[in-house]
Structure 1
Amino acid sequence: MCTLLMAYKFHPDYDFIFLGNRDEYKDRPARAAHFWPSYPNLLAGIDLVKGGTWTGITREGRLAFVTNYRDFSLPRSSTLSRGALTRDFLIKSIPPLAYLQNVHVQRSAYDPFNLIVGTPHELYYYSNMENQIRLLQPGVYGLSNALLDTPWFKVTKAKERLICLLATDFSVQQLFDILADREVTPDEQLPRTGLTLEKERALSSIYVDISNYGTQFQTVILIRTGGEVQFYEKSSVGEDKWQQSSFFFNLQ
């Protein structure tokens, strides 16, 4: 399922810091982050099944991230792809608040989701399980497959590690180390999302690795106060082998 962390206007040198794991079925085809030929200012991976994305940024500074909300007791509609929520924000020029107001109107067409959109200076969160558009204030946030900052064990632990790390002269590798944490949540703290205990346990770590499902992409984004962007991604190429790429540019 996914785990995202954000430090928004929390560090004196960075307007925005993002860490994220994309967990997905291993046989679901996707392409690693790249500048899209059809939208050359958009840097994102692409889900080759539905055409959407899970994490992206544009040269103009538009940001978008999505996770599923996990509750298998809820009905599924699947009319529209949740990955299209991020893609459509990134390729359009609609202001973030207006975009989310439009999403809110169509919220029932999507399976449960969490969506973060905005810029390094104006960031919003919306879930169709909460139906409230939240303007985010400076701080450190964690998101998995419940509402923003729900205190799941792995989210709380990752936030604490990130806060401690940001007080030091941290490295990019140390940020990736947070995303590589395989510690499983104690049974008494596991969420109850409609899965068996065994599956809840298997999905409860930050880094997930099950036989046919697991962490497929890891992303770190750093945006300095002057607008310099560093984008790092590790993508799984099978059997514990990873391909790493990086992109550097200035916001326009």
Structure 2
Amino acid sequence: MCLLVLAWRVLEDCPLLLAANRDELYERPAAPAQFWPEAPQLLAGRDLLAGGTWLGVTRDGRFAAVTNYREARTVTPPPRSRGELARDYLLGGTRASEYVQSLPAHAADYAGFNLLCGDRQSLWWYSNRGGPPRQLAPGIYGLSNDQLDTPWPKVQASKATLAGLCKDGAPPADALLELLQDRRTHPASADPAIGLDTTLAQALSAIFIETPRYGTRCSTVLRISAEARVELVERRHAPKRGESQFRFPLQESRTYPA
């Protein structure tokens, strides 16, 4: 996942609005969003190479998303996949606060990451390149492949668009998906890309990325309403097009009070 923008407790009728693009090599195998057969409480896409997920939500209202952190590659990559971070939270039974507080102890097992995870009570961000876990106050946030709200042009543009959409109440999924289709690029110097040539760096500066081997694989919208209803829409772009829509009421948590 390489771009994510969300409104957390900004709208009374829709406490969570999230729009995200997953950028990845086209050849990396992945399954579309679905309820996992072995864990029917979890709705998420799945990385078929390492078994994790980039974004998901559970029937009791926990949600999580992970992005890579842009930095020079190491000679020996860390042993664990970053997709495990979102998956393990979503499959577990702990509050978001408890989960993120447990991560610094083994953060070095992963390459650089950003993790957003929340439940009905709170939303947290943690990066193993950005200090201790941080609980997020109500507001509009943007996350790409650096610190939360780093002022890269595509982060600023997506936040501004979402803020405008929220002025008239909770925007429909189609409006959020349109936000994620912006193919405008920006000067490479405005969005630093370590170790990349200028042409590729400029391509990566867009909200929606298209290159011959790498780009925006899917766009996802997640909405959780004040009436405790979930809507998730996933629009797939490459290597095969498709769309899935899910709507369901939240269930009471079996592990902690809602």
Q: Report the TM range for the smaller structure's normalisation.
A: over 0.9
Deviates most, 95-104 or 221-230: 95-104
Structure 1 residue ranges (4+ consecutive) displaced by more than 4 angstroms after TM superposition: 73-76
Write the distance in 2 (CA, Å) between the matches of 1:73 and 1:37.
35
Name the count of aligned residue pairs. 250
Give the superposition deviation at 1:95.
1.9
Q: Is the 8 A contact 1:2 1:21 kept in 2?
A: yes
Q: For 1:20-67, what per-residue CA distance to the aligned partner results, in whole angstroms no more than 9, with x for missing partners?
A: 000000011100000001100100000000000000000011111000
Is residue 250 of structure 1 aligned with residue 249 of structure 2? Answer: yes
Question: What amino acid is aligned across from residue 242 of structure 2 in structure 1?
Answer: Q
Partner of residue 186, structure 1: 187
Give the superposition deviation at 1:137.
0.3
Q: Is the 8 A contact 2:149 2:155 kept in 1?
A: yes
Partner of residue 220, structure 1: 221
Write the distance in 2 (CA, Å) between the matches of 1:17 and 1:213.
27
Q: What TM-score results when the alignment is normalised by the length of structure 1?
A: 0.95
Partner of residue 31, structure 1: 31
Q: For 1:82-134, what per-residue CA distance to the aligned partner results, in whole angstroms no more than 9, with x for missing partners?
A: 00000000000022222112211000110000001121431100000013110
Partner of residue 42, structure 1: 42
Give the superposition deviation at 1:250.
0.8
SS of 1:106's partner is helix
Write the distance in 2 (CA, Å) between the matches of 1:171 and 1:201.
30
Q: Is the 8 A contact 1:4 1:19 kept in 2?
A: yes
Give the superposition deviation at 1:73.
6.2
Give the superposition deviation at 1:236.
2.7
Q: Is the 8 A contact 1:76 1:111 kept in 2?
A: no
Write the distance in 1 (CA, Å) between the matches of 2:246 and 2:89.
21
Give the superposed CA RMSD. Answer: 1.5
Q: What TM-score results when the alignment is normalised by the length of structure 2?
A: 0.93
Deviates most, 214-223 or 72-81: 72-81
Partner of residue 65, structure 1: 65
Question: What amino acid is aligned across from residue 144 of structure 2 in structure 1?
Answer: S
Partner of residue 150, structure 1: 150
Partner of residue 177, structure 1: 178
Q: Is the 8 A contact 1:16 1:120 kept in 2?
A: no
Write the distance in 2 (CA, Å) between the matches of 1:76 and 1:8.
37
Write the distance in 2 (CA, Å) between the matches of 1:105 and 1:77.
18
Partner of residue 55, structure 1: 55
**Identity over the aligned pairs, expressed in percent?**
40
Partner of residue 205, structure 1: 206
SS of 1:167's partner is helix
Write the distance in 1 (CA, Å) between the matches of 2:56 and 2:73.
30
Write the distance in 1 (CA, Å) between the matches of 2:189 and 2:72.
20
